[in-house]
Structure 1
Amino acid sequence: MNILVVSDSLRELPPAVAALESSGHRVAYVDALTPLPVIAARGLVDPRQADALVTGRLMWLDAEALGLLPRARVIALHTSGSDNVDLAEATRRGIVVTNVKGVNAEQCAEFSLGLMLAVTRQIRTGDIAIRQGLWAARTQTSLDLYGATVGIVGLGLIGKAAVRRLKAFGVRLLCHTRTPDPAFGEEMGMTYTDLDTLLRESDVVSLYASLNEATRHMIGARELGLMKPSAALINIARGELIDEPALVEALRTRRIAGAGLDVFETEPLFKSPLFALDNVVLTPHQAGLAASAKVNAAVRAVNNALAALDGRCPPDAINPEAFRAP
């Protein structure tokens, strides 16, 4: 059978490549930034012959793209999210979709705290200042996390991992989630509340929610207007959770003090009004890219693809009802 791999990072990970090359299937590799219709049009490889597609979040798989995969039995994502795939259309076509949810939860949680500290303690500002010979900039005030109120939006695996770490900082924890865990909240000393209250009372708001129609642009101009002028907004979840133009305006006018963003509405991000702002820390969707997590994610995705081709429903199937044995 034929496996099409559209990913740069996977090709650089020997354990994943070894699993593919020893599988007995034919494997073709294509650059991650090449959309499926372009792959087909340029004749790089023929996606119509692919029985499995292994890829990441940069590959947009809407109805048009899925139409180019008539033989495909499985789309194996080496990312935790799956919002780049039209799941309803994939299911209709009998294509099982898998992801690697939770594979980098601890690493993402660590990174979110790194962004928090970078923004609240003005680490980026200090770094730039000292490089410019501005030692006096060290007198600028910053927010202490100790004793601050941190609002957690979304309490999945990453959100819980972040809460465990934040507890050690001596913060007051608020949480807004559609799936409260009372026992976990009691253990962490965390209070569940509605989103508006969380926004009004938090010194730092950190987003860990999944993306769906209910959460898309859940942080817009109105919500930003509820936040303290001294507050910071952190997002390592999905860029579409925030109305980006509204955030740019809130940062530009100092309606909020700062932001730390690892995700954006449009990715890759090569041009943005965010680049001109000095009160935002930007990183290129790297929260989960710790070495161990990358290897584990890639190998898990490959194993999901191989399971489907071997006639077994993949363990990480998002839509198991779409699985069809050979």
Structure 2
Amino acid sequence: MRPSVLATRATFADIADRLREHFDVEDNPSDTVWSPEELRRRLQGKQGVMSTGTERIDAALLDACPSLKAVCNVGVGYNNVDVAACTARGVLVTNTPDVLTETTADYGFALMMATARRIAESEHFLRAGGWTKPGIFDMFAGADVHGATLAILGMGRIGRAIARRGAAGFGMRVIYHNRSRLAPDVEAESGARYVDKATLLKEADHLVLVVPYSPASHHAIGAAELAQMKPGATLTNIARGGIVDDAALAEALRKGTIAAAGLDVFEGEPTVHPALLKLPNVVLTPHIGSASVKTRRAMAALTIDNLIAALGFGPSAGHPPTPVNPEVLAH
């Protein structure tokens, strides 16, 4: 019998067909979000899974699905996967770094600009028929991006790509905070200067969050942090939901503690905090930072390369391109 794998989301048919060359494939053409119980049932007898950030892969699920050998996540983040539990059980975890860096940086910068210049708010005003006479002089006046201070929390691949756009393209003063400081040559390439977190918050005209989610980064931006920012500042989150305390952010936006926010990720998504939905000074998008056709195809292709190789097939058999816990391969 051929190995069996599960694809939890529909993907590009021509790319997905590559799985069928090696495996019996169960997919999810309706894109239904499965409950943990349904996911456990569908994983019975499967050797691999092509997962997304929606599916929680934890110790209980792994124990209930002992045939599982590879968890191949579509996306650079993998906080939905208990990597330690996988490693302890000899289950390989992979992700899709690099292929989405530039596209996500493009989107983060676009979301920041839309937030700063009040693009969504003014469009809603126009569509609702509010523009019936010439506007007053300061109608929807927002904040400049060029020459402003761009503050980046999290200086991985995407953070550095955003920094380059700000420094080289818009003449921004770029500061950043990270768990560890970058090497001097990398700082120079990014046009960025390291500061502590308090300085980052205090000096930011536009704060962009690109830090990975972990228990340590949960609510890294809450009421206390927002209170340290300028009243005219903006916040853009393209990292993960849970890094920002969404309730505290909604209150800060309502009170004018900061001017505006652009959010592509949310706590408990796809549910969005109801207070955010009522505010005019927040741009909301449904976790589409990497959503260009070219990049999403590349992410799907890399995930499938990982899954094929992880289960011992294809030209890279036993050597998947982007393992998260490569120590499993040694065994």
Partner residue in 1 for 2:318: 312
Relative to structure 1, is the Cα distance of residues 32 and 309 closer, same or farther in structure 2, using a 3 angstrom cutoff?
farther
Match of 1:53 among 37, 49, 52: 49
SS in 2 for 1:206: strand
Taking structure 1 as the reference length, the TM-score comes to 0.92
Q: Is the 8 A contact 2:164 2:191 kept in 1?
A: no
Residue 114 of structure 2 aligns with an amino acid whose one-letter code is: A
State how 1:75-154 maps to structure 2 within 5 Å: 75-135=71-131, 136=135, 139-154=139-154
In the aligned structure 2, how far is the partner of 1:218 from the partner of 1:231? Answer: 17
1:68 partnered with 2:70: no
Q: For residues 220 and 116 of structure 1, what CA distance do their matches in structure 2 show?
A: 19
Q: CA deviation at 1:32?
A: 5.0
**Residues 3-14 of structure 1 aligned to structure 2 (within 5 Å):** 3-8=5-10, 10=11, 13-14=12-13
Q: Which moved more, 1:178-187 or 1:205-214?
A: 178-187
Which residue identity does 1:16 align to in structure 2? I
Partners in 1 of 2:271 and 2:291 — Cα distance? 17
Q: Percent identity?
A: 35
Q: Which moved more, 1:150-159 or 1:61-70?
A: 61-70
Is the contact between residue 19 and residue 299 of structure 1 (CA under 8 Å) also seen in structure 2? Answer: no
Separation (CA, whole Å) in 2 of partners of 1:151 and 1:68: 44
Q: Which residue of 2 aligns with 1:206?
A: 208
Structure 1 residue matching 2:319: 3-state secondary structure: coil
Q: Distance in 1 between matches of 2:329 and 2:45?
A: 18
Q: Distance in 1 between matches of 2:329 and 2:91?
A: 7
Equivalent in the alignment of 1:29: 27
Q: Corresponding residue for 1:175?
A: 176
SS at match of 1:239: coil
Change (3 A) 1:157 1:40: closer
Query: Against the structure 1 CA distance between its residues 155 and 39, is the aligned structure 2 distance closer, same or farther, given a 3 Å change threshold?
Result: closer
Q: Is the 8 A contact 1:96 1:323 kept in 2?
A: yes
CA contact (8 A) 2:160 2:190 kept: no
What number of residue pairs does the alignment pair up? Answer: 317
8 Å CA contact 2:114, 2:283 repeated in 1: yes
Q: CA deviation at 1:36?
A: 4.1
Alignment-derived partner of residue 19 in structure 1: 18
**CA offsets, 1:185-230, max 9 Å, x none?**
2244422100110110111100111112222211111110000011
Distance 1:197 1:123 in 2: 28
State the alpha-carbon separation in 2 of the partners of residues 109 and 239 from structure 1: 17
Q: How much has 1:288 moved relative to structure 2?
A: 0.6
1:249-288 Cα offsets, whole Å, 9 max, x none, are: 1111111101000001111125622101111000000001
Q: Which runs of 5+ in 1 are unaligned?
A: none
CA spacing shift, 1:62–1:32, aligned 2, 3 Å: farther
TM-score (norm 2): 0.91
1:157 aligns with 157
The Cα shift of 1:99 comes to 0.5
After the TM superposition, which segments of 4 or more aligned residues of structure 1 sit over 6 Å from their partners?
A: none
- Greater mean deviation of Cα atoms: 29-38 or 243-252: 29-38
Q: Which residue of 2 aligns with 1:238?
A: 240
SS in 2 for 1:260: strand
Question: How far did 1:68 drift?
Answer: 2.7
- Using a 3 Å threshold, how does the CA distance of structure 1 residues 32 and 158 change in structure 2: closer, same or farther? farther
Please give the alpha-carbon distance, in whole angstroms, between the structure 2 residues aligned to 1:207 and 1:266: 18
TM-aligned CA deviation for residue 147 of structure 1: 1.7
Q: How large is the Cα RMSD of the aligned pairs?
A: 1.7
* CA positional deviation for 1:35: 3.0
Aligned CA distance change for structure 1 residues 254 and 245 (closer, same or farther; 3 Å): same
Deviation at 1:14, TM superposition (A): 2.5
State the one-letter code of the partner of 2:178.
T
For structure 2, which runs of at least 5 residues remain unmatched after alignment?
Answer: none
